[in-house]
Homo-oligomer: A and B are copies of this chain.
Amino acid sequence: MIVSIIGVGLMGSSIAKDLRARGFASTFLGVGRDKGNLQTAIDLGIINEAVSIEEAISKSDVILLGTPVNTMISLLPTILDGITDNTTVIDIGSTKEELCSSIREHKNRAKFVAAHPIAGTENKGAAAAINNLFDNKTCIICESELSSEQALNTSKRLFQCLKMDIIEMSAKDHDLHLAYVSHLSHVISYTLGSTVLELEKDESKILELAGSGFASTARLAKSGPDMWVPIYEQNTSNVIRAVDAYIKQLSQFKTILEEKKFDELREYILNANKIRKVLQK
């Protein structure tokens, strides 16, 4: 089995590491623009060699598309144009609606599986790849009714090898739900980081006081723009909806403070505490 990773980033590299260690395939090819990163992936034993996209398309049993989501939109039609009969193409991006729409009428649509393995870190590149990143996490497959049985089976075997729970939903629902549980969290971290960095211009020592609570809440603010700007570009309206819902909650919290209604604050916090049962799953 030959698996090609197009976009040898944190996600694609972490997948390749586990698939290799668990015997899913023995040959991994890498496609990317950053030669230094490809060399790192070879040195770390993540890919066997770096190849052109044409070579990956013609040789692979499975093509994993792990680039930023805007690059996926431009590459996927070309990839589907050129693949052989037995190749399955799987994307692992964080947005689905635009990508699925863009190739819905493609003659090889059935060889494509739109997937989102929900895992990651705020770091990037092959050097940041980690083992067991996906164990017991959720993988969403969208529009599975448009994928062939063979393509679906291959991708399910792959995500099962990563020890993921697979669920299915429409691309539209995926993008709405991820706006709330992922894209909004990133907005919140970016804006917290910016708020404190802005204040630091006047109060140069303030960040020395940041504890582990701040570090946790601001962790996602380390995530780079190459991956995240295209996500916001493709999911703008859902993210705005999530931000509006969030601002409503924040305004409610602020009003409670302004009116010094501390019994209400207690209720507010007790309700928010219910997130504990979710986070311990």
Contacts and interface: CB of A to CB of B under 8 A. Distances in A.
B225 A216 contact: no
A258 interface: yes
A95 to B, nearest CB: 14
Interface residues of A, number: 89
A72 interface: no
A256 B246 CA distance: 17
Contacts of A223: 269, 273
A215 to B, nearest CB: 5
A257 B274 contact: no
Contacts of A144: none
Nearest to A236: B257
A216 B228 CA distance: 18
A252 to B, nearest CB: 8
Interface string A208-230: 11111111111111111100110
A27 to B, nearest CB: 30
A269 B224 contact: yes
Most buried by B among A193, A273, A275: A275
Contacts of A220: 213, 216-217
B209 A178 contact: yes
Interface string A91-131: 00000000000000000000000000011110000000000
